[in-house]
Structure 1
């Protein structure tokens, strides 16, 4: 087995683990928010969400983009200058700790002013409490990014995806059962983040992943900040893109439109789950290959990984795209059915983002962080301009079209510069065949306008679609040898014998 296959199998294993952790986190986060929303008033739940929004903005600024740059930098230093890895880790941790403390103080002192902006004075007291979670959040993010640079997913899944949401849910349940006042929610949020950080640090020390020492290397620090600043602005731009639709719908339309759109948007964003999960382990592995100057291997890993992400995402996308009304009704109820068209448009936008592969992370790996920032700047401007034009005409569908087009713009820009710098692109011949087969089949189903209202008929249609897709994929010989090697590795790991499938694959590879 060559090193490309080994790298792909490591990424596949990490993707599965991170995907599980992400689903666990989403489910427990949903439960916590549901309990808070049901137990407290609508306005109090609004204050909770506003405080988290403000805290999220502060977190982006406090971490200085290190959460995106450290995985690449740690992996790069481990390959090129292993003796300086400890200095890099210590310097990054000190910078983030100090910056997060500064922004905690700013949040506390400016709480009243922020509350006046939102015309919600209860927000001031909430911010003065929840601001204390900022240093814990920042250091959790940095520590997990460092562990990511070592090619590990354990710390993210155990602590960020399992321990924190579980602890927060339990504390919220206790508070609501004992009928504690609303401010209790903010206190337990801080406690949950503090406990998660302490548990994470103890575990890192226990497994001796890296040492803790006070060492501030100004040369390493300044280089890291310069490299990370475009990623900081990129984080801010992404935040702007995520909230522009909601804010402009509220301005041009109504709160009802905002509610409908925010039923469709989170469902469409789930389409990215495998891309995001794969990127977590792709960055350190590809960074080490880049440090060794092995661009061709990165290109091969990129193409096969993009194909795998697409194959995993296709069933989820098919459900959302073919049956948006049923999907909306299942999660939010029939009163949100009007958002079905917006959900379908958003699904196309996020699927476009997915099928182009990890282009943004690849630009970070090769050190071209500015192109990520510029791409997101174009996308944010496109989103704002299109929202101004389309929301007054088409409402939530206009907002969805704006987001879909802006994601397309960002991905075309990133992919263009990635190809220009490295000749890396996602479109292998086998991947192109899979894309044609899948979208032709989806187009046929959509064209014949299947009007079914029974969920079992929809499941049957989906199963038939996937079976035909699988058959045509094999018939077109879209299977690579690395696909077979991954299948054999999974078979060995599960200790099962799948002779029929292996005989079938041998005929079509």
Structure 2
């Protein structure tokens, strides 16, 4: 089981790295095919669509990820289809409601400055429902054990196809591409990918329709569904807004140009989170199953080891960015090198956060979703207020510092709660202590080996291992 999850983690890492390259290419290409105002508006509007789709999901993507793994182990696809259909209906209802509310924002702000003041940017609303649907498919794919379905379409193919069609549009007309055209292209591509993934889901479920709106008559009231989904919903919204609200705040308070620079720095910094985020793809359903089986030690072993490995990798990347981060930023354009200080602040924040593990996802997969909700909401509510004040006083650098501190606070608090409630250490501490203890024991044993060398007065026979005497340190052999 553990070898499988780490093997899937490597596969997820490959896809995540591919997605990161495509995301970087996406930013670079459109930075050169658009003027800076349109570029900042495009990135801000796509971020807004991601946040809005997360609100519209009503936490159903996390409910699917929590409920399906145990049923998938029994291959009861009829029950899976019934559960997913109920969750899908709620997600569609919530997404349509968010679209209507968002449309009112454009109506009220029409003619004013900012991204919501231009009516042509309302094409971003078309992205909300497709983004919600593809996220539901991704969660179902993770629950069924498919890393391909979880990552390939939305992380790699979507942006790659947008680059392709955007490039065709740019070469055909020869003038900067407007943001509204790119948003329309992105929506059409999502619709095609959702249809293709539905076919793959049916193949994965051995011919059963597991992603459908057809559901048996249920006595569950919509109010009950919203109440039970509340913790997952609030956590997902707070998590997404916590990772994207800084870009929106910078774009609104400082301007689209500053938003473009901040976006470039944040895209590069977020690459550092992929080491741990990719581990969560196969690990989340595994943690849910292990917790249901009361195997807390195994959860500690797998999560702590992953946290330490990710921390070491991120540390190396932070050093590389400190030395050559301005060169990476210049891929967006020569002027983007001025965002190097923002890049370093965000990178150091992610380094510290990585040490403290996978955060709210561990609480959500172990039945502590309400605690995860409280922690995420409190830390990011305070963080957003601090971010607004810091941006007002210090500009984009202040926003970066506030955002990094809020991220670290969330990971520290969730890790502490997990250890206090279940005795599960999701930080790198347990594995680090084990490595230090093993190294110390090896250092202590070396003088004994040195004393038995032939040149120290012993014979070659003294180097042969002796048989263990009864009662002699029986715990040593069990390590």
Give the TM-score category using the shorter length.
0.7 to 0.9
Q: Distance in 2 between matches of 1:143 and 1:122?
A: 33
Contact 1:390 1:398 in 2 (8 A): yes
Which residue, out of 13, 20, 23, partners 2:7?
13
Deviation of residue 257 (structure 1)? Answer: 5.6
Question: What value does the CA root-mean-square deviation take over the aligned residues?
Answer: 3.4
Q: Which residue of structure 2 lines up, in the alignment, with residue 188 of structure 1? A: 185
Q: Is the counterpart of residue 101 in structure 1 residue 96 in structure 2?
A: yes
Contact 2:345 2:400 in 1 (8 A): yes
Contact 1:175 1:185 in 2 (8 A): no
SS of the aligned residue for 1:367 comes to: coil
Q: Distance in 1 between matches of 2:240 and 2:111?
A: 21
* CA deviation string 1:118-163 (max 9, x = no partner): 5457732332x44333322211110110111122211123322333
Q: Is the counterpart of residue 410 in structure 1 residue 407 in structure 2?
A: no
- Structure 2 CA distance for partners of 1:394 and 1:95, relative to 1, 3 Å: closer
Q: Which residue of structure 2 lines up, in the alignment, with residue 42 of structure 1? A: 36
Contact 1:390 1:402 in 2 (8 A): yes
Q: Which residue of structure 1 lines up, in the alignment, with residue 377 of structure 2? A: 377
Deviation of residue 252 (structure 1)? Answer: 7.2
SS of the aligned residue for 1:293 comes to: coil
* CA deviation string 1:463-496 (max 9, x = no partner): xxxxxxxxxx995689xxxxxxxxxxxxxxxxxx
Q: Distance in 2 between matches of 1:96 and 1:388?
A: 31
Q: Distance in 2 between matches of 1:345 and 1:51?
A: 24
Q: Which residue of structure 2 lines up, in the alignment, with residue 91 of structure 1? A: 86
Deviation of residue 295 (structure 1)? Answer: 2.3
Q: Distance in 2 between matches of 1:433 and 1:342?
A: 35
SS of the aligned residue for 1:424 comes to: coil
- Structure 2 CA distance for partners of 1:107 and 1:275, relative to 1, 3 Å: same
Which residue, out of 134, 155, 160, partners 1:161?
155
Which residue, out of 205, 209, 212, partners 1:211?
209
Q: Is the counterpart of residue 275 in structure 1 residue 272 in structure 2?
A: no
Q: Distance in 2 between matches of 1:284 and 1:250?
A: 37
Q: Distance in 2 between matches of 1:310 and 1:76?
A: 31
Q: Which residue of structure 2 lines up, in the alignment, with residue 231 of structure 1? A: 232
Deviation of residue 223 (structure 1)? Answer: 6.2
How high is the TM-score relative to the length of structure 1? 0.74
Contact 2:32 2:332 in 1 (8 A): no
- Structure 2 CA distance for partners of 1:262 and 1:432, relative to 1, 3 Å: farther
Q: Distance in 2 between matches of 1:253 and 1:54?
A: 17
Q: Distance in 2 between matches of 1:220 and 1:66?
A: 15
Q: Which residue of structure 2 lines up, in the alignment, with residue 455 of structure 1? A: none
* CA deviation string 1:293-328 (max 9, x = no partner): 3223222222222223234433223323x4265555
Aligned residues: 434
Deviates more, 1:341-350 or 1:378-387: 378-387
The gaps in structure 2 that reach 5 residues or longer are 443-478
SS of the aligned residue for 1:178 comes to: helix
SS of the aligned residue for 2:118 comes to: helix
The gaps in structure 1 that reach 5 residues or longer are 1-5, 437-472, 479-508
Q: Distance in 1 between matches of 2:184 and 2:389?
A: 43
Deviation of residue 283 (structure 1)? Answer: 0.6
Q: Distance in 2 between matches of 1:356 and 1:153?
A: 24
Q: Distance in 1 between matches of 2:24 and 2:88?
A: 31
Q: Which residue of structure 1 lines up, in the alignment, with residue 51 of structure 2? A: 57
Contact 2:345 2:401 in 1 (8 A): yes
Q: Distance in 2 between matches of 1:423 and 1:310?
A: 22
Deviation of residue 428 (structure 1)? Answer: 4.7
Contact 1:319 1:327 in 2 (8 A): no
- Structure 2 CA distance for partners of 1:234 and 1:396, relative to 1, 3 Å: same
Which residue, out of 65, 74, 90, partners 1:71?
65
Question: Which structure has the highest helix share of the two?
Answer: 1
Deviation of residue 421 (structure 1)? Answer: 1.5
Q: Distance in 1 between matches of 2:274 and 2:372?
A: 20
Which residue, out of 119, 125, 135, partners 2:129?
135
Deviation of residue 57 (structure 1)? Answer: 2.8
Contact 1:76 1:291 in 2 (8 A): no
Q: Distance in 1 between matches of 2:334 and 2:384?
A: 30
Q: Distance in 2 between matches of 1:364 and 1:203?
A: 27
Q: Which residue of structure 1 lines up, in the alignment, with residue 472 of structure 2? A: none
Q: Which structure would you say has the larger Rg?
A: 2
